[in-house]
């Protein structure tokens, strides 16, 4: 299995390929399945339909890995915080004021359908296809829990200065809950897991160490105590000069890069031998044509000779034509 070989530090050519949000609104079959589910949360918590949308891009494009179809906010919802998705507006939660209202002990009963989805995928995916479980990084999930929605997260950033112990305690609660959640995914058949710290770049260095690196290390150590040898991908988006410290200290095996981080610069900042994932700009996938071809060729030239997982620097957007995804797959598979 190409994907798992690279996780183990081996160079594979052509490199394995999967895409963040590869199961998504750019696919008509996804839109049809979501309509059948009724709403996004119902889709995430319906094992048969979540399995189906996870499999759709594998059938169509033959990606080397599938990522569980779910959402990073299923975990706070499972701990008792209300969650809804407003059409065209993204997630909405009641801003968290009191940590005692969270019930992490009851979470497993709520997210049980997600674990069933992993079990189903473990049985139904092609044997050569990797299966990735995931959770949101604690700092990123805390942003949504404290602000109640996306959009700069001003309350979270202010609380990190005014009430650092409160934010730290929330992040620690999330780290422990994430260990349990991700461990259940591994037990159900996930080959590796990924931590999405999409908003890690909001925090200055001292807060970044405390709210991003420290809990990531706690999760990695906790998971490996339960599952020795488990491989973990970390996605610390938009962290700039803190990338090297994240790679050294977080405990992750693979560092996923955003589209504004140069691969050469990442190699210079991170320990020798760091495995990277990424980092084609999703906008190029929307544009297609010569711009896409040239970018793919340039990225392939940069990763040759290194263990690398090809991906985007962020998720596919709904306006990406299927034909452009097919072209990306064709270019990668034909690499010599």
Q: Please state which architecture CATH assigns to domain 2-333.
A: Alpha-Beta Barrel (3.20)
Separation between Cα atoms, residue 21 and residue 18, nearest integer Å: 9
Q: What 3-state DSSP class applies to 194?
A: strand
Residues forming the active site = 21, 25, 34, 71, 144
Establish how many alpha carbons lie within 13 A of residue 133's alpha carbon, considering only the half-sphere containing its beta carbon: 29
Q: What 3-state DSSP class applies to 186?
A: helix
The answer, yes or no, to whether residue 87 has pLDDT greater than 80, is no
Mean pLDDT of 97-118: 98
pLDDT tens string 72-85: 999 999 999 999 99
Separation between Cα atoms, residue 307 and residue 63, nearest integer Å: 17
pLDDT tens string 111-147: 999 999 999 999 999 999 999 999 999 999 999 999 9
Exposed, middle or buried: residue 273 (CB in 10 Å: 0-12, 13-18, 19+)?
exposed
State the angle between helix axes of 47-61 and 28-37 in degrees (0 to 180), rounded to the nearest 10.
180
Separation between Cα atoms, residue 273 and residue 169, nearest integer Å: 34
Phi, psi of 216 (to 5 degrees): -60, -45
The answer, yes or no, to whether residue 6 has pLDDT greater than 80, is yes
Q: Which residues partner with 84 through β-bridges?
A: 92
Mean pLDDT of 57-71: 99
Q: Give the domain ranges of the chain.
A: 2-333
For residue 187, what are its two tokens? 């037990």
pLDDT tens string 178-192: 999 999 999 999 999
Contacts of 98 (CB under 8 A, 6+ apart): none
The answer, yes or no, to whether residue 226 has pLDDT greater than 90, is yes
The predicted pLDDT at position 312 comes to 99
For residue 316, what are its two tokens? 């596919």
Residues in the chain: 336
Strand pairing report for 84-86 and 90-92: antiparallel
Contacts of 74 (CB under 8 A, 6+ apart): 41, 44, 45, 83, 111, 114
For residue 56, what are its two tokens? 């759709």
Q: Tell me the pLDDT band of 163, cut-offs 50, 70 and 90.
A: very high
Whether pTM exceeds 0.75: yes
The answer, yes or no, to whether residue 1 has pLDDT greater than 90, is no
Separation between Cα atoms, residue 298 and residue 143, nearest integer Å: 35
Separation between Cα atoms, residue 134 and residue 72, nearest integer Å: 8
């Amino acid at each position: 299995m190409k994907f798992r070989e690279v996780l183990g530090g081996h160079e594979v050519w052509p490199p394995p390929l999967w895409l963040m949000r590869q199961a998504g609104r750019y696919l008509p079959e996804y839109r049809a399945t979501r309509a059948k589910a009724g709403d996004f949360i119902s889709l995430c918590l319906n094992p048969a339909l979540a399995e189906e949308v996870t499999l759709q891009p594998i059938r169509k494009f033959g990606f080397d890995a599938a990522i569980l179809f779910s959402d990073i906010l299923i975990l706070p919802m499972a701990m008792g915080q209300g969650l809804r998705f407003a059409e065209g507006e993204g997630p909405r939660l009641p801003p968290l004021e009191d940590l005692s209202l969270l019930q992490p002990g009851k979470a497993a009963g709520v997210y049980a359908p997600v674990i069933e989805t992993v079990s189903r995928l473990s049985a139904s995916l092609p044997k050569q296809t990797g299966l990735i479980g995931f959770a949101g990084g604690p700092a990123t999930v805390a942003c949504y829990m404290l602000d109640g929605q996306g959009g700069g997260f001003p309350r979270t950033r202010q609380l990190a200065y005014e009430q650092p112990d409160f934010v730290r305690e929330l992040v620690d609660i999330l780290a422990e809950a994430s260990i349990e959640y991700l461990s259940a995914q591994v037990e159900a058949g996930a080959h590796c897991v990924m931590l999405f710290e999409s908003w890690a770049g909001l925090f200055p260095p001292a807060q970044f160490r405390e709210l991003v690196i420290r809990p990531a290390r706690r999760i990695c150590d906790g998971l490996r105590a339960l599952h020795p040898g488990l491989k973990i991908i970390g996605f610390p988006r938009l962290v700039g000069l803190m990338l090297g410290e994240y790679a050294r200290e977080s405990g992750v095996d693979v560092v996923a890069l955003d589209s504004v981080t140069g691969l050469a610069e990442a190699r210079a900042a991170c320990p020798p031998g760091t495995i990277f994932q990424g980092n084609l700009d999703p906008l190029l996938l929307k544009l297609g044509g010569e711009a896409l071809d040239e970018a793919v060729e340039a990225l392939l030239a940069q990763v040759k000779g290194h263990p690398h997982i090809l991906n985007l620097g962020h998720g596919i957007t709904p306006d990406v034509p299927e034909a452009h995804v097919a072209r990306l797959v064709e270019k990668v598979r034909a690499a010599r």
